[in-house]
Structures are given as structure tokens and as C-alpha cells.
Amino acid sequence: MPPRKSPFFELRSGSVDTLLFVVKTIDLDAIRAELTRRFEATPEFFANDTVAIDVRRLAAEERVPLADIAQLLDSVRMRPIGIVADAAQQTWAAGAGLPFLEARDRRGAASKADSEASGEAGSDAQAAPGAVETPAGATAEAATTSATQPAEPVRVATSAQTLVIEKPLRSGQRIYAKGDLVVLGLVSYGAEVIAEGNIHIYAPLRGRALAGVQGNHDARIFCTCLEPELISIAGIYRTTENPLPADVLGKPVQIRLDEEKLMIEPLRLT
């Protein structure tokens, strides 16, 4: 006779969408300085976001104090939940006491050489030597049970087909599409739209829009009224702490990457 199901809890395998914090240097001071420069001015953008520490970009002989990096992330209100590492790195990485996660990002360790050669940056400016990278929306997978749930459910497209959202998005709502994402209503302040492909918003964008989150540098963002908190393509982002030019603020635009720089261009609709 099978055992009865517990009415109190369940333990099951599942996948969790999280950021990958990709470590590219063992210089802890450089990482600390870069985190301070990039996140302290806009602490709310990644506040309470979960993050997996990815060490696959490090050379075989390099080691980094993961417990210290976890503390640094916590200091800018990000929440480390695990480590992504190659098999050869797991011996020393286990000392941090965080679980190992399996990442399903498209670029992964296989593109390590290409990514380093391209000098990836995490903003619209070129990254300084020893910079770190946060490809927004990358997926880490683990067998885990969540003790808490977000205030608003995360809506996720289950295939690479285009996801269409017809209703306005309120603050705290998050949409994730594995293909392209089309939003027909307002994206309010505090709302977030994320896609592995392109994002089309036929209404004001006032929250966060992150396209190409699995490393698709050809992805674009289109919107009819640009008033964002944050825009990002393939982890290269810009916040409104750096004011937008008058010819694109509140106007129809397209956003694309040119090398490692975000290009925001007026969109001619007539």
C-alpha cells in the first residue's frame, strides 16, 4: 500500500530562474570595486534577486574565495543560492558550502574563449580589466524546495514560441519567454519582462526589459514609449541613472547591440 501524501510539505525536483554572476578574475578587490560602481547607485534593480556564482570562466589553476564573493553579493542585496562549476572545479568550490547547480545557458563554458576575446561588458560602457559579468535571466537548475514564494507569480513560456501578453503588468510582476515576447499593455514601474529572444512592447515601458538573456547578442527590444528603469540585451544593460537622450525618451525606439554597446535608436512608425 503506497504511503499517504503528507499534508504539510512536498519535496520535488524543479527548475528555478536566476541570474548568473560570472566570475572572470580572482582579484577580489577588483570585483568589490566593480560591484560598488555598478550596483550601489541603483540598489533596487537587483534587490533580493537570486544569483548563482558561475566560476567556469576561470582558468584551471585559478581559485577564488567563493564565501567572500557570496558576502559581496549579499552586500548589494543579491541572494546567492548556489555555484555553477566545471567538474574539475567542484573540489575546491565545495568549500563555500553552497550547493552546485546545473546551468542551461546557451553560451556556457563552451564559449569561454570567444567571450573572453570579445571583452564582454555588463553596461553600455566597456568593462574595465578584472570586471565581472551578470547575464540577466540565465537559468540554473537544482533539486530544491523553496521556503518562500514571490509576491507575484512568475509567468514562463513553456516553449520557444512567441509569448503574447495582452494585459498591463503591475509592479512586482515578471514575465519570462523562451522565445520572443510581445506585450500589448503598459509595463509599470517595478514590473519586469524577460525574453531569450526579442521583446516588443506596444505601450509605455516603465519597468525593466531584458532581451537575449541566454546570450543572444542579436536580440532587440522594440517599444512605442521608452521610459524604463532598466534595459538589457545579453547581459549588457543601462539604467536611467544615466539619463536617456531627449530624442528617445518617451519615444518609439529600437534597442540593439553594436559590438558591446547598447544602441538606442528612434523608431520611425510613419
Mapping DSSP onto H, E and C, the string for 74-93 reads: HHCCCEEEEEECCHHHHHHH
pLDDT in tens, 104-159: 654 443 333 333 333 333 333 333 333 334 343 344 433 332 323 334 444 555 45
Q: Is 37 helix (H, G, I), strand (E, B) or coil?
A: helix
Asked, for residue 100, whether it belongs to a domain, the answer is yes
pLDDT score recorded for residue 165: 93
Structural domain for 43, as ranges: 15-142
C-alpha cell at 115: 567571450
| Alpha-carbon distances, residue 245 vs 38, 154, 192, 193, 264 (angstroms) | 21, 32, 22, 23, 9
Categorize the per-residue pLDDT at 200 as very low, low, confident or very high, splitting at 50, 70 and 90: very high
Interval 193-199 mean pLDDT: 93
Asked, for residue 212, whether it belongs to a domain, the answer is yes
Asked, for residue 6, whether it belongs to a domain, the answer is no
Q: Cα separation of 179 and 200, whole Å?
A: 12
Asked, for residue 210, whether it belongs to a domain, the answer is yes
| Alpha-carbon distances, residue 131 vs 63, 101, 146, 175, 222 (angstroms) | 16, 23, 31, 29, 29
Q: How many folded domains does the chain comprise? A: 2
Same domain as 118, residue 170: no
Asked, for residue 149, whether it belongs to a domain, the answer is no
Same domain as 165, residue 206: yes
